[in-house]
Amino acid sequence: MGLLFARMGAVALLASAAPLQAGPGLSPAEKTIDRTVDAEFDRSVALLQKLVDQNSGTLNLPGVAAVGAMMHSELEALGFTVSWSPMDAVGRAGHLIAVRKGHARAKRLLLIGHLDTVFEPSSPFQKFVRNGDRAEGPGVGDDKGGMVVMLAALRAMQAAGTLKRANIEIVLTGDEEDAGSPVSISRADLIAAGKRADIALDFEGLVTENGRDMGSIARRSAIDWTLTATGRTGHSSLIFTADQGDGAVNELVRILAAFRSELPEPNLTFNAGVIAGGASASVDESGTGTALGKTNIIPGKAVAVGDFRTLSDAQTQRVRAKMEAIVAAHAPGTDARISFGEGYPAMAPTTGNARLLEQLNAVNRDLALPEMAALDPLKRGAGDISFVARDVDGLAGLGPYSTGDHAPGETVDLDSIRRQAKRAAILMSRLSNQP
């Protein structure tokens, strides 16, 4: 979910015109995967351009459905049974779900990506533009590049004969960038797929640090909050008296200052994004704050909206309880309430996730690629894989490397599609051979 974090990594894109060379540890089928990804590279780039040139901003429901139709055709050609799960109930386009049954005893793999982008039709940033080993365009990395990596890996598996054994379910959500509410509906398909799976692989973007590819075994939560403080309004000369109290703005400031001093702990961040206060005040769903008042009137209402991010469900509950306790300790003559949105849960860094990264690093060694260290989860935003993290081990970041996500100029390193597709295809093939 590039929604809140830019890719953390090298300033320069990691571009290399030469295909990766297969390592000595690859099986004959894996060497076929290696060759196939390179041979079909131009096809992958052409598909990426086709996907990017179709606007699929989350609220452009026909556009999201159109990208879904493109992916439907690609997956059906690979032997998947493909269906569309409409999300009219939450005001979103829907999700694409594809299933391919293989050997009865093969591990059940869940592949996760998303059809939508943050760029609505009103954005001036609309088209794919290639410049050598780089390309820019809306969603070129997040997550249309990820879907292209997924397809390139699956096509290579088909060419190598390893796809026929694999049990794979794919969920491509249509609203990852702005999830429909309630998530009990908008993420029901994904959560159910997670309960059926043995392993989840998320095809959002690769993160690099100091020029080295990193493995993502954890993602933090992202939970919105709304804080509303009220006070007794009146002439400003009477503020802090027993009759008038401290006023709504001072109460809001007290709470935010207490958050800053009392909440900090490892892996937690919290932020007040918008504040409005006065005789009247509000912040709407778009984040626009409005307030009306005068310098000589005690403010009767103040509103702040923000978010907080944690690394585990236990930390989420602990921090939420602390916030509620701080809010409840009212200043004289005031009241305050805090409410929390549904948000994205955390994907904790489990032992099972770490083992998957070890298996990916075995693939890296056989591809003659450097091993990938585990990424600090503070350097990765929330994402859809977190909705299944309670039920299944997983890895994130199997998509391509990109920079400038969620802003005009979003740019993908096209050559990263090669190495990510090879990694994913060989990993999925090996996992499918495990009981």
User: So what's the pLDDT on residue 285?
Assistant: 86
DSSP 352: H
Length of the chain: 435
What angle (nearest 5°) sits at the alpha carbon of residue 391, between those of residues 387 and 396? 55
User: So what's the pLDDT on residue 23?
Assistant: 53
Whole-angstrom CA distances from 415 to 90, 129, 421 are 37, 15, 10
For the stretch 121-125, contacts whose Cβ atoms lie closer than 8 Å and that sit 24 or more positions apart, written own/partner, are: 121/55, 121/57, 121/60, 121/63, 123/57, 123/408, 124/408, 125/408, 125/409, 125/410
104 Cβ partners below 8 Å, 6+ apart? none
Q: Which of 262, 227, 225 is nearest to 334 (CA)?
A: 227
Residue 383 corresponds to which amino acid?
G
Q: How far apart are CA 304 and CA 142, in angstroms?
A: 30
Q: How far apart are CA 219 and CA 389, in angstroms?
A: 10
Q: Which of 345, 361, 349, 354 is nearest to 427 (CA)?
A: 361
How far is residue 423 CA from its own chain's centroid? 20
Q: Phi, psi (5° rounding) for residue 275?
A: -130, 140
Q: Strands 199-202 and 108-114: what pairing?
A: parallel
Residue 82 corresponds to which amino acid?
V
Alpha-helical (H) ranges within 40-197 are 41-53, 61-76, 144-160, 183-186, 188-196
Q: What are the mean pLDDT values of the chain's consecutive 10-residue runs (435 residues total)? A: 40 39 79 98 98 98 98 98 98 98 96 97 97 97 97 98 98 96 97 98 96 96 97 97 97 98 97 97 93 97 98 96 97 97 94 98 96 94 94 98 96 98 98 91
Q: Phi, psi (5° rounding) for residue 434?
A: -90, 145
Quote the radius of gyration of the chain (alpha carbons, Å): 24
Domains and CATH numbers, the chain: 28-220+346-432 (3.40.630.10), 223-340 (3.30.70.360)
How far is residue 148 CA from its own chain's centroid? 17
User: So what's the pLDDT on residue 380?
Assistant: 87
Q: Strands 289-292 and 393-395: what pairing?
A: unpaired
Bond into 182 cis (ω within 30): yes
Q: How far apart are CA 231 and CA 333, in angstroms?
A: 6
Q: Phi, psi (5° rounding) for residue 35?
A: -70, -40
Report yes or no: 280 and 298 within 8 Å, Cβ to Cβ: no
Q: Strands 134-136 and 411-413: what pairing?
A: antiparallel
Q: How far apart are CA 54 and CA 62, in angstroms?
A: 10
User: So what's the pLDDT on residue 2?
Assistant: 46
Give the containing element (helix H, strand E) for 290: strand 289-292
Neighbours of 117 (CB within 10 A): 32
